[in-house]
Amino acid sequence: MPRQSKSYSVLSDAALGSLSNLGARLKEARLRRNWSQQQTAEKAGLSESSVKKVESGSPRITVGAYLSLLDVFGLPTAFDRVLAPGTDSLGESLARSATRRRAGTSRRQAADDEEWEI
């Protein structure tokens, strides 16, 4: 897939491939239901062009459009499985191997440690 815009340049080829695969699976779900893109768009509250963009795997469409289609296909909680516990082995391994600190802790600590004169 050629990289044509900033949306494409910030996403890896693997991420673009994943969006393309998701779009193809959403298209298959629509076709199994024998719905046109227009009918699907009306059911999902989207424009027909948005359905076309989702089905092509465009990164230039909101995640809400993908979720709307999943919802009308009866899969409203499909995104719950993204990074569900047990699926982020790298992140879980890193969390076990290092003490985690919240971002900005040192700044808050410095503010707490300052002496205030009145």
Whether 37 contacts 65, CB under 8 Å = no
Domain-embedded: residue 32: yes
- Compute the mean pLDDT over every residue in the chain, rounded to the nearest whole number: 83
Asked if the structure places residue 68 within a domain, the reply is yes
User: How far is it, in rounded angstroms, from Cα 21 to Cα 6?
Assistant: 21
pTM for the predicted model, two decimal places: 0.69
Comparing CA positions, the residue from 65, 81, 61 lying closest to residue 73 is 65
Per-residue pLDDT reduced to its tens digit, 71-114: 999 999 988 888 788 888 888 888 888 765 666 655 555 555 55
> Within a domain: residue 64?
yes
Look at residue 116 and tell me if it is in a domain.
no
Rounded to whole angstroms, how far apart are CA atoms 16 and 57? 7
Q: Is residue 81 part of a domain?
A: yes
Domain carrying residue 69: 6-85
CATH of the domain at 24: 1.10.260.40
Rg of the chain taking only CA atoms, in angstroms:
21
pLDDT, position 81: 82
Phi, psi of 110 (to 5 degrees): -65, -40
Rounded Cα distance, 59 and 94, in Å: 29
Domain membership of residue 92 (yes or no) is no
Q: Which amino acid is at 25?
A: R
Cα angle: 102, vertex 104, 107; to 5 degrees: 135
In a domain, 13, yes or no: yes
Based on the structure, what is the number of domains in the chain? 1
SS3 65: helix
